[in-house]
Structure 1
Amino acid sequence: MEMAYNKKTKVKKGWLVVAVGLDGDEAPNGDGFRRFPIPISYLHHPLFQRLLESARETYGYKTAGPLRLPCSVEDFLHLRWVIDREQRAGGSHSTLSLHAC
């Protein structure tokens, strides 16, 4: 079950909120992006680093608000599942390729 996170929701220590979406996507907050909390540990994962590089290429370094990730929500949820599974298993990193990320 996904929890809705908005600007007023407090994020627990060690986590951050990212905004996920593609141009033209619909989202409950009206800006085309859905917000998701993620653990800071994701920032070190190679798959997530590729997504961060894509965000840098798309949006640059300066943004107002949460970090925006140019990725479909479906692909982001799959990426999050892969990273969580790997972290639980303590295994090696995947070479997953996401369509819209």
Structure 2
Amino acid sequence: MARKDKVPRGYIPILIGRGEDKEKILVHMEHLQQPCFLELLDLAMQEFGYDQKGILHIPCTTKVFHSIIDTIRKPKS
């Protein structure tokens, strides 16, 4: 069985959203270590537990998720 989407090296696919409003995005693995991203992972653990099957699902709005990623990407001054 062939995979439809090839994930670039250093990235992880994540499904974000609730209900019908879901979006699949690729997140660089460096972002997973940021404190604000760890809070999102904790939120996912609280809702789904540690044994999610398949793609990692984070239950927050896409707007909140993109805001967090933008904050992570901004250079620190």
Q: CA RMSD in A?
A: 1.5
- The offset of 1:19, in angstroms, is 0.4
TM-score normalized with structure 1 length: 0.68
| Higher helix proportion | 2
- Aligned ranges for residues 48-63 of structure 1 at < 5 Å? 48-63=37-52
Q: What is the aligned length?
A: 75
1:18 corresponds in structure 2 to 14
Q: Report percent identity of matched pairs.
A: 28
Flag structure 1 segments of 5+ consecutive residues without an equivalent: 1-6, 27-32, 93-101
| Higher strand proportion | 2
Q: Work out which structure has the larger RCO, using CA pairs closer than 8 Å and 6 or more positions apart in sequence.
A: 2
Name the SS for the 1:10 alignment partner. coil
Name the SS for the 1:56 alignment partner. helix
Flag structure 2 segments of 5+ consecutive residues without an equivalent: none
- The offset of 1:8, in angstroms, is 1.6
TM-score normalized with structure 2 length: 0.88
